[in-house]
Amino acid sequence: MSGKDHFLRMVLQDASRRLAAAGIEEARAEARILMAWALETDAAGLLLIDNISEGMLARFDAALARRLMREPMALILGHAGFWTLDLAVSAETLVPRGDTESLIESLLAACPSRDEALKILDLGTGTGCLLLAALSEYSTAFGVGVDLAPQAAALACGNAERNGLAERSAFVAGNWADSLTETFDVVLSNPPYIERAHIAGLMPEVSQYEPGRALDGGEDGLDAYRVIVARLPSLLSPQGVAILELGQGQGPAVSELAARVGLRTMERRCDLGGIERALVLKREER
């Protein structure tokens, strides 16, 4: 083993130990991810590095310090994967999560023809992950993403450019669908649904670093659903479908809200952890 290899191994071992002590489960893997980022390579490239400069080590140390404070890895790296996309992230938005991909799976099941020229609306778009993933699957679709925060809408717009989807998307700042008068074939939303009293008890990566407006669902976690569901009858085209992300155990309550405005539940799809995550709604047939 060369001196370089020994030094790198020792640095990674120390970083892994410190990350584990901070309560991070995949400490060894995260140490390697941070080192690869600092050295501007990938995991395989770590084996080929010939020289580690002081600047690279300083970059690694700074990133490690941020992760030890439980800042999300995606915010340190500046990007996150979602579906087949690579998305820029910021503290203005939620970090895209794999659980949310169940909404795209539900969309593909509800609208199996990929050639449909769908009009898609994403309420609370954040990074744009849901809308952009949908557009990546439907090559003639067009979509609008709305977010309360102008900074989030701007980030989503940049992500559309980043993934070659800018010509088929538009992003605006607004309060849910207040400024919209047209109808859509698909409405997607991952609204805030955490009960307010529970936010402080979430893992630090969430409670300390992700925007409260994207988490806080009010006293019972249902405030945003009440607003969105009430607007769905005027937002959906006659055969339109709405797909909402759910918090754990919220399926029956949100389905009941939908039933009150003439929407029927078509599916409640589970994520990979077995939690009901995607609620699919359509108009009641008359």
150 is in an annotated binding site: no
Would you call 117 exposed, middle or buried from its count of C-beta atoms within 10 A (0-12, 13-18, 19+)? exposed
Same domain, 20 and 141: no
CATH of the domain at 60: 1.10.8
209 is in an annotated binding site: no
The answer to whether 193 is a known ligand-binding residue is yes
What total number of domains does the chain contain? 2
What confidence tens digit (pLDDT) does each residue in 24-72 have? 999 999 999 999 999 888 777 776 666 778 888 999 999 999 999 999 9
Instruction: Check whether residue 45 and residue 175 sit in a common domain.
Output: no
Q: Is 83 annotated for ligand binding?
A: no
**Which residue from 79, 73, 81, 99 is spatially nearest to 155, judged by alpha carbons?**
79
Tell which of 69, 99, 126 closes a domain. Answer: 69
Which residues constitute the domain of residue 11?
3-69
Does residue 260 contact residue 285 with C-beta atoms inside 8 Å?
A: no
Q: Is 41 annotated as a binding-site member?
A: no
| Chain segment 120-169, per-residue pLDDT in tens | 999 999 999 999 999 999 999 999 999 999 999 999 999 999 999 999 99
**Do the annotations mark residue 128 as ligand-binding?**
yes
